Structure 1
Amino acid sequence: MDEYCLPRTQVPERLYRVQYDKSMTNDVEKGLTANNMQTFTEDTAKFGSAVENHINDYNDEGTSMFISTFASKAQAEDWMCRKWRSYGKGAQILEIETRHLGHGFVYRAGEVAQALELDTSYTTYDDLSSEYLILHFIPARAIVARRAKMVTPKLEDDASPAPSPQTGSISATVTEASTVTKKKPRNRSVVVAQYQCSEYSDNGSRETSIRSRR
């Protein structure tokens, strides 16, 4: 695993994590913890298999030793809108300052996939090229902001009917946006955003609008 770690100088200063209710990554008081906190291997084949399972989202029993993040906030927002059906109650975007990680086990997903010739059938080029995998743990001090929370409609046990796919869009309203620091830094704005995530059209295109106020 050490062989594929990025040097500190190549890790982006800020990464963006989509944290959602049914995620394999746990959001706890001490930070974000991967579902599998024990595994560490120097076997290249086992490492490659773990990365392949993670990026394609077919891990056995829903376990992974990695936490996915994006270098681009726009890509994180795009991923969040495309995956809204899987969330349960909702999702939010966390901003992570990598200088506070406390360890150097960060991997560029696309680079590892190319080097080890991994199967990338169940992900997209845009996701893979922006995705960074962090091993095991992200401490709370590294999470500098929680930018927005998107609440998805209940698809079951709801008195109102679920949105029809024919409508082409579904609104997701932000219910929470706050920084995680106890003392709010001077001049820091809290962004409240409303995400409107449209269904894909027949040609695969999708429009996503994001309105924000400070």
Structure 2
Amino acid sequence: MNDCRVPKGHVPPRLYYVRHARSQAYDDFSGGFRARDYGRFYPYSDTQAEFSKSVENHLDWSSREPSPYLSVMSDRNHADNFALVMQSRTGYVAEVYEINARRLNTSYIFNVPYLMEELRLSVRPDAMNASEYLVLHRIPGQAVVGCRTTKDIEDVSSLKNQDIIECNIEFGI
């Protein structure tokens, strides 16, 4: 696990978390989000098989195993499209939260394509995307700098040249 994390200086400055009706994450007391499995951790080399299995389970949408990760994306357009797909599948509005990666308190952020290759994971290629990262345990409220709903995304006039609507003025950049 330690060898697979993205060094802090190499994490994209902006990440996007999509909250939808099938999300396994909980709302966090700080205004952020918490993974369903908040306690699991794999710090030792002898736990690499367990770490690999936890990533596979997270990326397998048919798995109901509680995950210690939250999926985020570095590509805003992909996050918007994913939110729209999830809205069409569930019938509920989805939300895209903009995350300032410098404000993430965790030092455990993983790049999914790197994990797929490094750990030789057996996950369907369509189960992940090139811009996906996994954040271990939580995204604190202080890192959330904006949000928009699928209703905002669907409004073509607001999609053109519009930044993500700030969730709360106090979270200003």
Q: Place the TM-score, normalised by the shorter chain, in its bin.
A: 0.7 to 0.9
Match of 2:97 in 1: 94
8 Å CA contact 1:110–1:129 kept in 2: the answer is yes
User: Which structure: greater strand fraction?
Assistant: 1
Secondary structure of the structure 2 residue equivalent to 1:129: coil
- Higher RCO (CA < 8 A, seq sep 6+): 2
Which whole-Å CA distance do the structure 2 matches of 1:131 and 1:23 have between them?
A: 15
| CA-to-aligned-CA distance 1:56-75 (integer Å, 9 cap, x gap) | 223334x1100000010011
Match of 1:133 in 2: 134
Match of 2:23 in 1: 23
How many residues of Structure 1 are paired with residues of Structure 2 in the alignment?
A: 161
Which whole-Å CA distance do the structure 2 matches of 1:76 and 1:172 have between them?
A: 13
Is 1:79 the equivalent of 2:82? yes
- TM-score of the aligned structures, taking structure 1 as reference length: 0.67
Distance 1:80 1:180, change over 3 A: closer
Match of 2:48 in 1: 44
8 Å CA contact 2:86–2:94 kept in 1: the answer is no
- TM-score of the aligned structures, taking structure 2 as reference length: 0.82
Distance 1:184 1:120, change over 3 A: closer
Which whole-Å CA distance do the structure 2 matches of 1:40 and 1:101 have between them?
A: 17
**Which ranges of 4 or more aligned residues in structure 1 deviate by more than 4 Å?**
171-174
| CA-to-aligned-CA distance 1:132-151 (integer Å, 9 cap, x gap) | 000000100000001x2126
Secondary structure of the structure 2 residue equivalent to 1:95: strand
Where does the alignment leave 5 or more consecutive residues of structure 1 unmatched?
Answer: 152-170, 189-214
Which whole-Å CA distance do the structure 2 matches of 1:9 and 1:106 have between them?
A: 11
Could you tell me which of 106, 111, 135 is aligned with 2:109?
A: 106
Report the alpha carbon displacement of residue 172 of structure 1 after superposing the two structures with TM. 5.7
RMSD across aligned positions (CA): 2.4
Where does the alignment leave 5 or more consecutive residues of structure 2 unmatched?
Answer: 157-163
